[in-house]
Chain A
């Protein structure tokens, strides 16, 4: 089915020898007029695209301190060169973070620095040619904005910011990415990434209630648009029917049921994901985020809780207050917003949930830290809570938990290979190769501890792993939602 070779998983992760240009053919489908227009972008490459791009870069430099500092500060020390999963999986030197950044930095130097104007060759400055634009399109769609490189950079240079800026410039000249832009259009038009309209959503949730009733004999509710509920749950739309996502949603409902917390989903904000982040577009990111504020006000809820989704949690935790705040109309006793893991963890701490760990005894579990949760957000009230809380929940609901190697989890976690707007079939080769470092770490705990389940709290990670696990000789259903394990261990009773 594939015209590429799945990388070999070795005993240790090796730094590959460079193979220049081996991934230069990789590029996602280019967006079209119908997907560009709703986002406010030109439908095709504009005539004076060079000038527009250079002006847009200038605007971004003036409005984003990070980008300006990152463009100036790199000393080419090489600390990041072996940190990117796409480099480790593809051997293409342009996938070394600094080399990727230099595709933009070279243009920055040419048009915005004195040495670049005077001696371009000397300082690695380059004209913005059509060839460079093509390289931008290819290699800035080989970055999942996972921020692993930024952990190791002595100046904290974040390639994710550079990728976002370049994608924003490409959208401004009319060369957008179909996958992300089409999805954002669906959010504006229908309310979620998958394009599920309200009746379909209601139908799905009713089906879930019946399913849980059959399984447990308990009337667990999955409410939609219920005014006056205490909690508005915002979750990725994949949770409504994709496997293994939906088992996570079932778990959230069971937790709320057992805790006696009234909750509701919203058809207006029926999507936690915010692909405005991926394309570096603050206007679109803000417009998507505002739906959540509107839904919370409309439904009169007291708290906002986010389901399992990595980048959505970044936008929620780090940006929502800026984009759509202040949230002074919500209950001040709770952080805004909360992660579903924070809610579950608090309930476990308070002894509000009865858990039967043995229900998960057939599972030997490891946990994949999703990049945006690990390196761009937090849970709880202490730094690093985003690593502690999911693991504490897992240890409370199952008997066999094993971590992967320390340099592949926590702040050093490897991306699943499909984040940052790359979860599309037209990038399958990249996704498979980019998963190599995570697969290597997984293989190790599988052999060492007999691990048979990989737990994640991100819709993209779950979809990506379902797809790439078989390439590496694992089963697609080895990836599960954290709240599936919670739901399975919860001892249910029918009283509220």
Chain B
């Protein structure tokens, strides 16, 4: 077994563990931290099902962003939708008997790959050339876009220029999932692609990518507007004192 095979096997075990545990701990923290007061941005739904609908339009259509800025919306939404299709397309490398729907979306996944890279370039152009957005950008904000662009570009390069033995890659990942390490091809573009993906997984729980779980816990979007009808009880209601560290409710 080659060094590359062992290295990438360990890398993906580590990256997966960091991703799952890191994001899991973060979600647990969000869930555990109390929401002291009712602060939905109004007008807000007055029922639980209304909140589900509101959250749905945020997560699926980026409704607030749509209201804010059509350029950021179209680029951001196109990127996320494309990313979703690309990820779904990749399912076939992780499932032994590929379901029909995964087979059917393969061509769309390819188009999505191009759309994803194009949208990312658009977002980066805004970050570079719109003065306000350049002002609020840290180096990491640029690097995150570069990382995603390189992941997309290296994937497309493998599809169209420097092919790899995709069947062997599939066997490698299927093997990883049952702790039976199979040889990984060592084409440069494949190794670059996989390294970048592992890097993304490792960075995820420590970066702004936490917006993905965060949006579901945002009290301005997930709270029901019913403070008069139902008393919201939190540590503020209970204690005379400011909240002690780690208090619950």
Contacts and interface: CB of A to CB of B under 8 A. Distances in A.
B140 A325 contact: no
Nearest to B58: A154
Task: Enumerate the 9 nearest inter-chain pairs by beta-carbon distance, A residue then B residue, closest first.
Answer: A124-B138, A73-B214, A152-B68, A156-B220, A79-B68, A383-B43, A78-B133, A63-B243, A156-B221
Contacts of A122: 138-140, 143
A382 to B, nearest CB: 8
A337 B227 CA distance: 10
B39 A323 contact: no
Contacts of B42: 374-378, 383, 386, 411
B66 to A, nearest CB: 9
A65 B41 CA distance: 15
A93 interface: yes
Contacts of A74: 208, 211
Chain A interface size, as a band, is 35 or more
Interface string B130-141: 111101111111
19 contacts: A18-B132, A64-B34, A65-B30, A68-B33, A69-B30, A76-B127, A76-B208, A79-B65, A81-B132, A96-B136, A122-B140, A122-B143, A124-B139, A154-B211, A161-B39, A335-B228, A376-B41, A377-B42, A383-B46
Contact of A99 (B58, B135, B219): B135
B140 A376 contact: no
A283 to B, nearest CB: 6
B69 interface: yes
Given A74-B208, A321-B231, 7 more contacts: A73-B211, A79-B64, A99-B136, A151-B41, A318-B39, A378-B44, A386-B43
B190 interface: no
A83 B220 CA distance: 17
A150 interface: yes
A197 interface: no
B217 interface: yes
A68 B65 CA distance: 21
A378 B224 CA distance: 12
A158 interface: yes
Contacts of B178: none
A69 B214 contact: yes
A450 interface: no
B236 A286 contact: yes
A486 interface: no
A59 interface: yes
Nearest to B22: A114
